[in-house]
Amino acid sequence: MINSEQIKNLAYSCGFDLCGIVSPDDIPEAQEQFETWLSKGYHGEMSYMAKEPERRSSPRQLMQGVRSIIMLGLNYYQPDSKELPSGYGIVSKYARGKDYHKVIAKKTKKLILEIERTSDGTKETGFRWYVDYGPMLERSYAAKAGLGYIGKNSLLINKDFGSWIFLSEILTTLELEPDNPYGIDHGQCGRCTMCIVSCPTSAILENGVIDSTKCISYLTIEKKGDISADLAAKMKQRLFGCDICQDVCPKNKAAQFTVHQEFVGGGVGEYLDPAIVERIQTREEFLALTAGTPLTRPKLDGLKRNAHIAATNARASKEKPVS
C-alpha cells in the first residue's frame, strides 16, 4: 500500500510545491471562529459561505469513509513592476495569468492517476478533491498538515513561499500517516502588525479576522452593485483584487518567483487600461479579454465598475495639488 512519503514525491513530480498529510478530524476551534465570523456578517454577500457551515470543518460530512486528507500548495508569486503606468488599473498577482482553478485541477487529476498507478488495489480507493470553492476550512487543515501557520491577515504563511500560495486538497479513503503540524518551524507574526495598519480600508480587525465587506479583494471580485464612495476612494487604482497585506508582510521579503508559467502568462498581465474595459459592450468582447482567467468572476458589470473606479481615482491622484 502506498505511504505518505510516496504520496508527497508523486505530488512534487506532478508539479505541486507543497504537500502535507492530515487526518480528517474536525477542528473545533476553526469551526467556532468561522461561525463567529459568519454571525457578525463579515462574509458580506458571499451567501454560499453560510450554507451548511458545519461541513467546512467536518470532512467526514463531505466524503463517506474518508481517512486522510492530502493538502497541496502552489507558489504563484511574481514581482511587480517598479512603476504603475499612468491611468492604468492594478491586477492582483494571483489573477495575472491563467485561472488557477483549471491549472490545479489538471495537476490534481494527474496526481490521483499516479497514486492509483503506483499503489496496488487503489482502483477501489475513493478520492474527492477541491480547489478553494469546496466547503472546507482549507487553511486550517493546511496548517494542521504542517504547511505553514495562519497569519494576522488570515492567510497561510509558509517559510519558503510566504503567503503566495494556492491551496487545494484531496480527500481519500487511503489510510496515511499524518504530518506533525509542528515538524517545520514556519515562524510566527509575533508583534508585527504591518498588514493591519497598511490595509487602506481597515478590513483586518484582529488576528486572522477579516471583515470581507471592507476588503478590496471582496469589493472588486465578490460584491455586486455599487461600492460606497468612501471605500471606492480607498481602492486607489486596484482594478481586480488586492495584495497590500501581502506586499508589506516581512515573511514575504524572500518570496520565490513562481516556476509555473501559467500564472505569469496567458492572462491580462499586471496592469489593465480601464478604458479598454469601459469600452466593452458585449459578453463576447468581455470573454475575448478575460476568458480562461480569474477576471471573469465579477462579470462584465463588476469589471466595468472596477475600471471606472480605478480611472476616477487615477484622475483624482493626478489632479491632487502638491503640498
The Cα-based distances of 155 to 149, 168, 201 in angstroms read 8, 14, 18
Contact 170, 68 (CB under 8 A): no
Rounded to 5°, angle at Cα 74 from 16 and 26: 90
The cell for 268 is: 491580462
21 backbone dihedrals φ, ψ, rounded to 5°: -115, 135
Cell of 195: 498588514
DSSP state of 158: B
Strand pairing class (89-91; 238-240): parallel
Nearest to 213 by CA among 193, 91, 205, 293: 205
- Identify the sign of the CA torsion 77, 17, 95, 50: negative
Handedness of CA 151, 156, 160, 161 (dihedral sign): negative
Question: Catalytic residue among 132, 160, 247, 273, which?
Answer: 132
Please tell me what DSSP assigns to residue 148: -
* Separation of first and last alpha carbons in the chain: 70
Phi-psi region for residue 225, left (φ > 0), alpha (ψ -120 to 50) or beta?
Answer: left
132 classed as catalytic: yes
Q: What are the two backbone dihedrals, phi and then psi, of residue 167, each rounded to the nearest 5 degrees? A: -110, 145
| C-beta separation of 187 from 251 below 8 A | yes
* Rounded distance between C-alpha atoms, residue 312 and residue 237, angstroms: 9
What are 129's strand-pairing partners? 170
Give catalytic residue positions.
132
